[in-house]
Amino acid sequence: MTSQLSQLTERPSWKALQSHRSLFNEKNLKELFAQDQDRGKKMSLDAIGLFLDFSKNRITEETVQLLVKLAEESGLRERIDSMFRGDKINISENRAVLHVALRAPKGEKMIVDGEDVVPKVHEVLERMSCFATSIRSGEWKGYSGKSIKNIINIGIGGSDLGPVMAYEALRFYSKRSMNFRFVSNVDATDFVEATRDLDPSETLFIVSSKTFGTLETLTNAHSARDWLLKGMGGDSKAVAKHFAAVSTNATKVAEFGIDTANMFGFWDWVGGRYSMDSAIGLSTMIAIGPEHFNEMLAGFHSMDEHFRTAPFEKNLPVLLGLLSVWYNNFFGAQTVAVLPYDQYLKRFPAYLQQLTMESNGKHVTLEGTAVSAETGPIYWGEPGTNGQHSFYQLIHQGTRLIPCDFITFYKGLNPLGRHHDLLVSNVFAQAEALAFGKTKEQVQAEGTPETLIPHRVFEGNRPSNILLADSLTPETLGKLVALYEHNVFTQGAIWGIDSFDQWGVELGKVLAQKIIPELENPIEPPLQHDSSTNNLISLYRKNR
Ligand code: G6Q
């Protein structure tokens, strides 16, 4: 399918967009708004309980039409259908990409290699549900007969960022009598700080690793076992009551000594960074309970259905993806800031960093040839209003173009005096300031001394999207995550890359395996790296 496509930059819509782009050298957002009094309402979209105002973008209706045409000429429709059909669209790993099956309701069919995978998904969900319920109710006892109060998820990358983000995002719904912690880094500090005040007899570790072969996770899991056994009198039978595993690799789980009755599986068609709604979400389910977890899955599913069925010009993830392509490829913007105005979403930008950059940080097309345009923009952000007092300066008055996604809610989960109105007023004010700025004349009229005027001018014309939802529920979180998953998919489809592999993380891993014995060897090893690496290894050996 993709091989029949012409090269990206040769597509008629790409060329049309290139010439259309020059319109925005003359017209800024202020003028575009002046031209059409209804622009704010017209350029917004209300779908499945999310409201997107995309009017403050450097676009006209024609831009949207051309971008949609680009999506069509890039085969986006076919790629969406292909993903939902279970085709092996992760070509470099020869795998289907079917995270959408993780949230398919019972009875729906999704086929991988001729097999309907939905029943398997629900079987695992039911087992997770029973396990989570027995932990939450106190029925599950640790080895010394005490109930579990502390859950520690050990995992890294896709087996960590989703669970941490979801726990923080849904903390409002979590069982407050329990503690939830997350250990990912191979730096011992992570493990030591997470466990220092905990009683092993009340602690359950969930070792989350798709492969069960990841250096960081296995190192932390071994330290966890040592810590547990030390605290429980050294009886290795304690492991069965204090360890669960989430993995695709039962053999390795058993080798580690975890009872496979406490193992929850998933499948190779779930990418790590697309797995927070699989068994990798076990800590989330224990925190918020199976019912809320199911609501989250329903949220994911409604976004999947919207993505699969809505026409591109009314499709939230498609629109967001196309806007990213627009700035990335036609304005040279290198980043996208994601700015959630909700403290519970404080780890959402970190989660999105992996989702977006591991997916679309690619330099070759599906055919293995160099991509003809820039790919994956850098995603970053912090929750509002904190960012306003640090890096927003650069967004408002710096020399770079940084499109922003603001996310906020009509209702805060912790109503307290005027807080929520103040919070939301800041979202609207920031987007307004970015778009319309402040002219020299306005600054002058304020009586500003002549020499300070240039410093106080805001050029404006800085684009942003505003996403609004009712409140941060599990269902809304599911919708938001799926929104960005499919946004990433859309961008990847335009560039014609494999958004589902991650070969870029391999080289460093391999080199570290060579360096580990060179650091640990009691006898000075012969070093055959470059002169910098050799010197650093020698220095470390001398000074550690
Ligand atoms: C995600 C990546 C990566 C992965 C981690 C952990 O898409 O594949 O971040 O999740 O390397 O891998 P394991 O779950 O196999 O330990």
Grouping H, G, I as helix, E, B as strand and the rest as coil, residue 117 is: coil
Task: Over range 199-228, report the average pLDDT.
Answer: 97
In angstroms, what is the span from residue 346 Cα to ligand 1's centroid? 22
Q: Is 509 a catalytic residue?
A: yes
Q: Is the CB of 353 under 6 A from ligand 1?
A: no
According to DSSP, the β-strands at 263-265 and 243-247 are: parallel
Supply the pLDDT for residue 2: 45
Would the pLDDT of 65 be above 90? Answer: yes
Query: What pLDDT, on the 0 to 100 scale, is given for residue 93?
Result: 98
Question: Is the CB of residue 356 below 6 angstroms from any atom belonging to ligand 1?
Answer: no
Kindly give the number of the ligand 1 atom that is closest to the alpha carbon of 208. 14
Question: Looking at the predicted structure, is the pLDDT value of residue 3 above 80?
Answer: no
What would the pLDDT profile of 232-256 be if each residue is shown by its tens digit?
999 999 999 999 999 999 999 999 9
162 lines ligand 1 (CB under 6 A): no
Which atom in ligand 1 lies closest to the alpha carbon of residue 280?
Answer: 14
Find the 268 Cα to ligand 1 centroid distance in Å. 11
| Ligand 1 proximity of 209 Cβ (cutoff 6 Å) | yes
Residue type, 465: N
Catalytic site residue from 168, 216, 295, 358: 358
CA distances from 83 to 101, 174, 414 (A): 10, 33, 39
Tokens 């097309």 belong to: 365
Distance CA 78, CA 81 (A): 5
Write out pLDDT tens, residues 79-130.
Answer: 999 999 999 999 999 999 999 999 999 999 999 999 999 999 999 999 999 9
> How far, in Å, is the centroid of ligand 1 from the Cα of 365?
22
Question: Could you say which of 26, 106, 237, 389 is catalytic?
Answer: 389
Percent of the chain with pLDDT over 70: 99
Ligand 1 center from residue 140 Cα (angstroms): 29
Give the mutation target among 153, 159, 273 for probing the ligand 1 site: most ligand atoms within 8 A of CB.
159
What is the average pLDDT across 473-500? 98
Beta carbon of 216 within 6 Å of any ligand 1 atom:
no
Nearest-angstrom CA–CA distance, 231 and 517: 30
- Other Cβ atoms less than 10 A from the Cβ of 115: the count is 11
| Catalytic-residue membership of 363 | no
What gap in Å lies between CA 489 and CA 420, rounded to an integer? Answer: 33
Shortest CA distance to 493 belongs to which of 170, 150, 78?
Answer: 78
Considering only CA atoms, which residue is closest to atom 5 of ligand 1? 157
In angstroms, the CA 46 to CA 528 distance is: 60
Any catalytic annotation for residue 237?
no
Whether the per-residue pLDDT at 72 is higher than 70: the answer is yes
- The pLDDT assigned to 5 comes to 84
- Give residue 1's pLDDT band: very low, low, confident or very high (50, 70, 90): very low
Query: What's the mean pLDDT in 420-433?
Result: 98
Q: Is the CB of 211 under 6 A from ligand 1?
A: yes
> For residue 338, what are the CA distances in angstroms to 120, 164, 192, 259?
35, 18, 32, 41
Per-residue CA distances from 49 to 181, 314, 321, 420 (Å): 31, 14, 19, 20
d(CA 213, CA 516): 16
Q: What is the arithmetic mean of pLDDT over 126-145?
A: 98
Q: Which atom of ligand 1 is nearest to the CA of 155?
A: 16
Checking if the pLDDT of 505 tops 50, the result is yes
- In angstroms, the Cα distances linking 200 to 230, 424, 512, 539 are 9, 43, 32, 38
Query: pLDDT tens for residues 146-174?
Result: 999 999 999 999 999 999 999 999 999 99
Task: Give me ligand 1 centre to Cα 403, in Å.
Answer: 29
CA of 260 to the centre of ligand 1 (A): 21
- For residues 349 and 338, give the distance between their C-alpha atoms in angstroms, rounded to a whole number: 6
